[in-house]
Chain A
Amino acid sequence: QVQVVESGGGLAKPGGSLRLSCVVPGFSLNDYHMSWIRQTPGKGLECVAYIGSGGGPKYYADSVKGRFALSRDTANNSLFLQMNSLRADDTAVYYCVFGDYEPHWGQGTQVTVSS
């Protein structure tokens, strides 16, 4: 059973930062395509960031380009989404997704941007 575990969500002020983490015990994340997808009641499901296996390529949605950045810690087998210059419309549940052909999703972490 593949388990995808996200962490790092919470409350941030507009203009602030958060870093989301994702681990998949038993799997080397560097060997798989990984994505972050967010969900809001108004906009539905949106793919915000993707990193290909082996470290690249990377993709970012226009809505987060220049503000969000993906990275991998291969030593600790973790994936990170650094979110800077947060805006109210970044408020969403963020899901880490492991793989692409038969993707596995985490349970999500809530990010709330509010003053």
Chain B
Amino acid sequence: DIQMTQSPSSLSASVGDRVNITCRASQTISSFINWYQQKPGKGPNLLIYAASSLHRGAPSRFSGSGSGTEFTLTISSLQPEDFVTYYCQQSLTFPWTFGQGTKVDI
């Protein structure tokens, strides 16, 4: 299985900050990576698919970059509702595998 190593596992930030979350794949996955936001008690919501495409309805302050094995989710200006947990997921091969998550705290 492809391992997804996500970092950091948690970070502290303030409203308005620019934040980067990274994911490293154990082998090349081209651009087959998705990023999700998960709020407490809810299912994951897709933010970015195919490494850099913004899912319809996701705010434009979210962006994704990278290819091969190194990927980044960027939040350009943190809003109060963004202080939740984020996950990466590779969709190149089954089983899909996920990062361990990044919790963004105030």
Contact = CB atoms under 8 A, between A and B. Distances in A.
Nearest to A58: B94
Majority secondary structure of chain B interface residues (helix, strand, loop or mixed): loop
Interface string B41-55: 011111001100101
A102 B49 contact: yes
Interface residues of A, number: 20
Interface string A69-84: 0000000000000000
Interface string A35-48: 10100000011110
Majority secondary structure of chain A interface residues (helix, strand, loop or mixed): strand
Given A102-B46, A103-B46, A45 B94 contact: no
B43 A44 contact: no
A112 to B, nearest CB: 16
Interface of B: 34, 42-46, 49-50, 53, 55, 87, 89, 91, 94-98, 100-101
